[in-house]
């Protein structure tokens, strides 16, 4: 359900008047594009072992498990369209309002939506690499074509299955991305927290950096978060809120 027009107008006013606007997005943003989240009502945890899919230990034992199960929601991403949330965030950046976008997502949909300054704190499948041979790299399109054909990307030197540059359980987050995200969160005087329940750390600590430096939060998520009481505005329905924003921005005819 879309909030009242006056509430959307207030939200848009806060966005326009922010001195340094930053967004933090989680899996809930991508559900609007038909990608399942992890812990929601229809999340991956309900019918498959998501932790096993993204386990570094298990990948070392059997990389085919990852490619078999991740194929449906990572390597068919070209079939997915950017949602209204992705598009609005892309427009806000284009207009100079959104300074940085921190995402927990690994689906590349923010780039599809037009965002350029995307900080992927959980890594990205844009690149695949060999765990043994230095310098061996394969891009997403080539790897995705192999996975869709029922194969796996392999190292041309040693034959080992390549790993995506996604942060698996048991790995550290990419240092540069985490440092950049922390810096942007500290600089923000307004952070949009979108589609995340703020339960996975250190990503969930980003809004705390904003709050500690005197910034404000606007939270849009269909489940409660630990910081709901600290938000200046709180919504549940991402699609309704961002469809309203899209119209308020005068961009509806481009959607």
Instruction: Please pick, among 86, 110, 122, 128, the residue that the annotation labels catalytic.
Output: 122
pLDDT tens, residue order, the chain (255 aa)? 678 899 999 999 999 999 999 999 998 998 888 876 555 555 554 445 667 888 999 999 999 999 988 877 788 877 788 999 999 999 999 999 999 999 999 989 999 999 999 999 999 999 999 999 999 999 999 999 999 999 999 999 999 999 999 999 888 888 999 999 999 999 999 999 999 999 888 889 999 999 999 999 999 999 999 999 999 999 999 999 999 999 999 864 444
Q: Is 122 marked active-site?
A: yes
Kindly list the structural domains of the chain, giving each domain's residue range(s) and its CATH number in brackets, ordered by start: 1-35+82-122+174-255 (3.40.50.1220), 36-79+123-166 (3.30.1600.10)
**Per residue in 67-80, is it b (16+ CB within 10 Å) or e — as a string?**
bebbeebbbebeeb
**Per residue in 26-40, is it b (16+ CB within 10 Å) or e — as a string?**
bbbbbbbbebbbbbb
C-alpha R_g of the chain: 19
167 CB contacts (<8 Å, ≥6 apart)?
122, 123, 173, 174
Measuring CA to CA, which residue among 195, 222, 199 is closest to residue 24? 195
CA count, 13 A, side-chain hemisphere, 154 = 9
Per-state percent for the chain, helix, strand, coil, to nearest 5 = 40, 20, 40
62 CB contacts (<8 Å, ≥6 apart)?
none
pTM of the model: 0.88
């Amino acid at each position: 359900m879309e909030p009242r027009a006056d509430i959307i107008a207030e939200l848009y006013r806060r966005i326009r008047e922010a001195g340094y606007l930053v967004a933090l997005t989680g899996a809930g943003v991508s559900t609007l594009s038909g990608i399942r989240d992890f812990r929601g009502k229809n999340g991956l945890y309900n019918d498959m072992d998501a932790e096993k899919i993204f386990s570094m230990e298990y990948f070392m034992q059997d990389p085919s498990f990852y490619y078999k199960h991740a194929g449906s929601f990572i390597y068919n991403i070209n079939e997915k369209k950017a949602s209204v949330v992705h598009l609005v965030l892309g427009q806000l950046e284009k207009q100079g309002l959104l300074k940085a976008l921190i995402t927990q997502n690994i689906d590349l949909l923010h780039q599809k939506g037009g965002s350029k300054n995307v900080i992927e704190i959980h890594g990205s499948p844009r690149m695949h690499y060999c765990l043994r041979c230095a310098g061996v790299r394969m891009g997403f399109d080539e790897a995705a074509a192999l996975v869709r054909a029922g194969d796996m990307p392999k190292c041309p030197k040693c034959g080992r299955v390549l790993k995506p540059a996604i942060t698996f359980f048991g790995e550290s987050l990419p240092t540069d991305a985490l440092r950049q995200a922390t810096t942007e969160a500290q600089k923000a005087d307004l952070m949009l927290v979108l589609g995340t329940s703020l339960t996975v750390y250190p990503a969930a600590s980003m809004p705390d950096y904003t709050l500690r430096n005197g910034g404000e939060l606007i939270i849009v998520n269909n489940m409660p978060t630990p910081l709901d009481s600290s938000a200046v505005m709180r919504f549940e329905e991402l699609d309704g809120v961002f469809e309203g924003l899209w119209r308020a921005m005068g961009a509806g005819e481009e959607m």
